[in-house]
Amino acid sequence: MAEKNVFHINGYLGLIIVLALLLVGGYLFATAQLIVLAVVLIFVAILAASSLTIISPNQSKVLTFFGRYIGTIREAGLYLTVPLTNKATVSLRVRNFNSAILKVNDLQGNPVEIAAVIVFKVVDTSKALFAVEDYEQFVEIQSESAIRHVASEYAYDNFGDGEALTLRSNPTEVSNHLTEELQERLDVAGVQIMETRLTHLAYATEIASAMLQRQQSQAILSARKIIVEGAVSITEGAIERLSAETSLNLTDNQKIQLINNMMVSIINERGSQPVINTGKVAE
């Protein structure tokens, strides 16, 4: 079933037609001329008047005729349409759905808390009204299901081990994936997903403290690695310059001692003065 247009004309023109039919029918009935025609005209005018409908901006009317879907009116205004129809209102406005904070296991099995906001609107009124029981409830349930599934496909963080996408470091990519999966689920309900965004992401309380310590340790190790690499580069440059620009001929033991002293001086991060072993210079 797909949405389609239904017969409708301008309501003000229809109102004029209804009034004209009533006037003519009333005149014929009052003058006792063509009583049957007068009754028919009045009956037609009443039927036409019952088909007048008002549609607000960003709303639509879905018409069913004795249980059969005959079409939808999307344009705002007053319209005269098919009489004896049931007219259900479906909003076309953009709406938000804020999911509850869900506890799920990420790709590595760690329990995390996650929530998202879903921005959607109805694009096919017939599917929204007839393909599912309640399209708003359908959006809520499918959104939470999709959030759980997408969260289980990513690790919360890779802690510097590789370049895989993660929930914490790649929220845009995760949101795009969530949008695509959710759109596939909601096509049946005639709903378009306009945007999804993660609004909450954290480790579950039972492991939050341990994971924070792990993150801090990883940050310290990464910083130490950068410091050591820089210290090695500085030490190598210093030894090369000493050898090239001075007449000092350092033995291997002296080079090792010099490297040790420079590494200690550069890497030391405390305010206290480091103790440097100068050793014995050969004569």
Q: Are residues 168 and 102 part of one domain?
A: yes
What is the distance between the alpha carbons of residues 90 and 130, in angstroms, rounded to a whole number? Answer: 12
Q: What is the mean pLDDT of residues 135-142?
A: 93
Q: Looking at the domain assignment, is residue 212 inside a domain?
A: no
Q: What is the pLDDT confidence band of residue 225, given thresholds at 50, 70 and 90?
A: confident
Q: Select the more confidently predicted residue: 26 or 280.
A: 26
The predicted pLDDT at position 272 comes to 44
Helices (DSSP H) in the chain: which residue ranges? 11-30, 35-50, 125-130, 135-151, 171-186, 205-245, 252-267
pLDDT tens digits along 5-57: 988 888 889 889 888 888 888 777 777 677 778 788 888 888 888 889 999 99
Domain end, chosen from 69, 91, 113, is at: 91
Q: Are residues 81 and 101 part of one domain?
A: no
**In CATH, what number is assigned to the domain containing residue 140?**
3.30.479.30
Structural domain boundaries enclosing 144 = 95-203
pLDDT tens digits along 179-199: 999 999 999 999 999 999 999
Lowest model confidence (mean pLDDT) among 5-14, 37-46, 162-171, 203-212: 203-212
Q: Are residues 153 and 128 part of one domain?
A: yes
Q: What is the mean pLDDT of residues 190-213?
A: 79
Q: Are residues 87 and 104 part of one domain?
A: no
Q: Select the more confidently predicted residue: 262 or 84.
A: 84
**For the chain, what percent of residues have pLDDT higher than 70?**
78
What is the distance between the alpha carbons of residues 231 and 223, in angstroms, rounded to a whole number? Answer: 12
Count of domains observed in the chain: 3
Q: Are residues 61 and 131 part of one domain?
A: no
Q: Looking at the domain assignment, is residue 209 inside a domain?
A: no
Q: Are residues 133 and 175 part of one domain?
A: yes
Q: Looking at the domain assignment, is residue 180 inside a domain?
A: yes
Q: Are residues 231 and 186 part of one domain?
A: no
257 HSE (CA, 13 A, CB side): 12
DSSP lists the bridge partners of residue 119 as 96, 195
The predicted pLDDT at position 96 comes to 92
Q: What is the mean pLDDT of residues 85-113?
A: 90
Question: Are residues 42 and 22 in contact, defined by beta-carbon separation less than 8 angstroms?
Answer: yes
Q: State which amino acid sits at residue 171.
A: P
Question: Are residues 104 and 111 in contact, defined by beta-carbon separation less than 8 angstroms?
Answer: yes
Q: Are residues 114 and 63 part of one domain?
A: no
Q: Looking at the domain assignment, is residue 282 inside a domain?
A: no
The predicted pLDDT at position 216 comes to 61
Q: Are residues 110 and 84 part of one domain?
A: no
Q: Are residues 15 and 112 part of one domain?
A: no
The predicted pLDDT at position 12 comes to 87
Q: Looking at the domain assignment, is residue 191 inside a domain?
A: yes
Q: What is the pLDDT confidence band of residue 268, given thresholds at 50, 70 and 90?
A: low
Q: Is the pLDDT of residue 134 over 50?
A: yes
Please state the pTM of the whole predicted model: 0.69
Q: Looking at the domain assignment, is residue 239 inside a domain?
A: yes
Domain end, chosen from 44, 68, 91, is at: 91
Domain end, chosen from 41, 62, 91, is at: 91
The predicted pLDDT at position 143 comes to 93
What is the distance between the alpha carbons of residues 22 and 26, in angstroms, rounded to a whole number? Answer: 6
What is the distance between the alpha carbons of residues 67 and 178, in angstroms, rounded to a whole number? Answer: 37
Whole-number average pLDDT of the chain: 82
**Cα distances (angstroms) measured from residue 150 to each of 69, 77, 90, 131, 232:** 36, 43, 30, 25, 44
Q: Are residues 101 and 82 part of one domain?
A: no
**For the chain, what percent of residues have pLDDT higher than 90?**
39
Handedness of CA 225, 227, 231, 234 (dihedral sign): positive
Q: Are residues 77 and 42 part of one domain?
A: yes
What is the distance between the alpha carbons of residues 194 and 174, in angstroms, rounded to a whole number? Answer: 15
Q: Looking at the domain assignment, is residue 273 inside a domain?
A: no
Q: Looking at the domain assignment, is residue 283 inside a domain?
A: no
Q: Is the pLDDT of residue 234 over 70?
A: yes
Residue in 203, 100, 109, 107 with CA at minimum distance from that of residue 152 = 107
Burial annotation 66-83 (CB, 10 A radius, 16+ → b, else e): eeebbbbbeeeeebbbee
